[in-house]
Amino acid sequence: MAIFRTYLLLVIAVLGLYTLKVGLDHGWNLIPIFFDNIIAMDWQGQFNMDFMTFLALSAIWVSWRHRFSPGGLILGVVAFFGGMMFLAPYLIWASLKANGDASILLLGNQR
């Protein structure tokens, strides 16, 4: 579990710096660019559509893990729009709360 958490910390650092650089160089208005690429039906759009399905899966899993409670649904929305910058810290928190037990990490405490 320590290697997994270290990986997540590395992801947060690298992706955070990369996002900062891109945002400063190209602006922070990602949504129109993201969907324009999907509408264009090119390889960048295909990648964005594929990525969006991963975001949706992440949102559904986080919401499910919290039994689709109001807080779980809010976390799901944050997971969808926050991507790995939400999911990596969430997984670190959840893995610590699960005391390194992978089944509790994946399923939640109550399952």
CB proximity list for 108: less than 8 A, separation 6 or greater: 65, 66, 67
Q: Quote the pLDDT of residue 63.
A: 97
Q: Is 12 exposed, middle or buried (0-12, 13-18, 19+ CB in 10 A)?
A: middle
What digits encode the pLDDT tens for the residues 47-68?
Answer: 999 999 999 999 999 999 999 9
Question: Which among 100, 97, 92 is positioned nearest to 109, based on CA atoms?
Answer: 97
What digits encode the pLDDT tens for the residues 2-43?
Answer: 999 999 999 999 999 999 999 999 999 989 999 999 999 999
Q: Is 94 exposed, middle or buried (0-12, 13-18, 19+ CB in 10 A)?
A: middle
Q: Quote the pLDDT of residue 110.
A: 73
Q: Quote the pLDDT of residue 111.
A: 67
